[in-house]
Amino acid sequence: MCATCGCGDGARASVTGLGAGHAHPHDHPHEHAETRTILLEQEVLSKNNLLAERNRDWFAEHRIVALNLMSSPGAGKTTLLERTIRDLAGELPISVIEGDQETLLDAERIRATDCRVVQINTGSGCHLDADMLARGLVTLDPPDASLVMIENVGNLVCPALFDLGERARVVIMSVTEGQDKPLKYPHMFRSAHLMLLNKIDLNPYVEFEADRCVDNARVVNPDLEVLPVSATRGDGMADWYSWLRRAAQ
């Protein structure tokens, strides 16, 4: 995980508001290195969990509902957000935290909807963490009694490990991915409250068994709620909006 790959250090993350082995000559057992790695992983997660609880308290104090949106790259998170913001304009006050390794491209797309947005660039990091989110919220300054949508870095591994202080986790799958993704990345789907099965308008053109994907997801998380949607064509979006309204209560 991140203590091993080095992306757990959030110092290089930047917040922008827009309105494996080693070589050496001697032989020795490697248990000590593995022990250090495990301890470091526990330290990183323990520190993150403490900061996540602070974020959760802050959200509760301001009556803000935060949702952590996670997926593989290209599953359609940003397109889903764009349509959601436009369709619910005037009904639910929404602000967005955008997480990417580089560029402001997704934040600029969200800003074009007249939504308040902050971009967090993680550099080499493969996920957002609670400290990055806390710093992003200072810049975002979301209004009380609103909805904050956190678009995490596209990755089905590390984002699942890091609590941000969110109310709920939403994992976005698309029919252009393999139906076995939930079995290959079980922790992501096990930690999610809702799975949006996106791009269902493309289902006739790809080899993807939607029912089998849902069955696989419920093998790892029997309580997972699943909504099929098409963020481009609009199929199923009314059900997604109903879910958001309930979450925002």
The domains of the chain, with CATH numbers, are 32-248 (3.40.50.300)
| pLDDT, average across residues 84-104 | 96
**Calpha distance 41→3 (Å, rounded):** 5
Q: What is the pLDDT of residue 4?
A: 39
CB 83 within 8 A of CB 107: no
Assigned token pair, 154? 């596209």
User: Does residue 55 carry a pLDDT above 80?
Assistant: yes
In 10 A of CB 36, how many CB atoms? 11
Task: Tokens 């827009």: give the residue.
Answer: 18
CA atoms within 13 A on the CB side of 49: 8
Task: Tokens 């790695």: give the residue.
Answer: 37
User: Does residue 153 carry a pLDDT above 90?
Assistant: yes
Q: What is the pLDDT of residue 7?
A: 60
Q: What is the pLDDT of residue 236?
A: 98
Q: Please give the mean pLDDT across all residues of the chain.
A: 90
| pLDDT, average across residues 80-96 | 97
pLDDT in tens, 154-200: 999 999 999 999 999 999 999 999 999 999 999 999 999 999 999 99
How confident is residue 219, by pLDDT bands cut at 50, 70 and 90? very high
Q: What is the pLDDT of residue 17?
A: 81
In 10 A of CB 26, how many CB atoms? 4
Name the pairing type of β-strands 116-121 and 14-17. Answer: antiparallel
pTM for this one? 0.86
